[in-house]
Amino acid sequence: MESVKILIVEDELLIARDLSQKLKKQGLQVSKIVSSGQAALQAIAEDRPDLVLMDVVIKGEKDGIDTALAIHEQYGIPVLYLTAYADDATLQRAEKSGAYGYLLKPFKERELLTTIRIALQKHQQVQEIEQQRIRDALTGLLNRRYLEEALQQECRKAERLALPVSLIFIDIDHFKRFNDTYGHDAGDHVLTTVAHLLEQNVRQSDLVGRYGGEELIVLLPNCPLDRAAVIAEGLRSEVSLLQPHFQGQFLDSITISLGVASFPLQAEDAPSLVKAADEALYEAKRAGRNRVVVAQSSVPST
């Protein structure tokens, strides 16, 4: 646990400092000590800790339980309660806040460290299960179900904030040829190679996923159509430079076709955005492959 970074949220400074010293003695890193829910959320935004130790009674409008709920919803960081209050109503609220444990003051140092270790192990297990739920087993990319949910959310957000959302639909050209010529293992290698290259060449805020078969998607929040087209062309160029080889054998060169569309310019909702990008992709394939095609506007201007 030596690399674990912990945020302490405690409004009694002497208790917080004593807790910090105990943690540091065990080789744990204390990122910060704060006394209110608002300060805790700000500290998490600035320097993401691995764990939050939270007193139930703290300063500010939000108590520890409300703050823990906000942390769970916004960041998914595990929270442990450290408190002297254990009435039934408090316990019921604590159970619903997504926290990973509850220690009553005063507690022993060994008890604290054991509870921290259990919380971190539980959090890792939860993350692994979540990754299995949202990731494609072969490529490790986000799966279609997650992408469709994320696209719905991003379109609603974009409509509310008057921001653009762009989508790039990608198809590996002549993918069947790799399977037929070199075998399905080589085809899988080509698919994963392209998938990893896409992830390495998009913005941190972008989402890359496998839509099905050899079709891939890049979801670009807050990205206008012209910028998305530039990104798409960059991806096409990077893939064309690949020199794929599998089990000591060089494979045919890889190219991709890409269709680009943007909400709300070419679509009025998430399904129509997918349709617009997909139609642009097939236009790219009909035009000779290894190219980017931008969807035509289908939403009338007002």
Q: Which of 92, 70, 65, 93 is nearest to 80 (CA)?
A: 65
266: left (phi over 0), alpha (psi -120 to 50) or beta: alpha
Amino acid making up residue 71? I
Please identify which residue in the block is written with the tokens 């309660």: 81
Alpha carbons 278 and 256: distance in angstroms, whole number: 14
Q: Among all residues, which ones are annotated catalytic?
A: 214
CA distances from 194 to 144, 200, 210, 259 (A): 17, 10, 11, 16
Alpha carbons 216 and 257: distance in angstroms, whole number: 10
Q: CB 93: neighbour CB atoms within 10 A?
A: 18
In this structure, is the dihedral angle defined by the CA atoms of residues 88, 94, 95 and 101, taken in order, positive or negative? negative
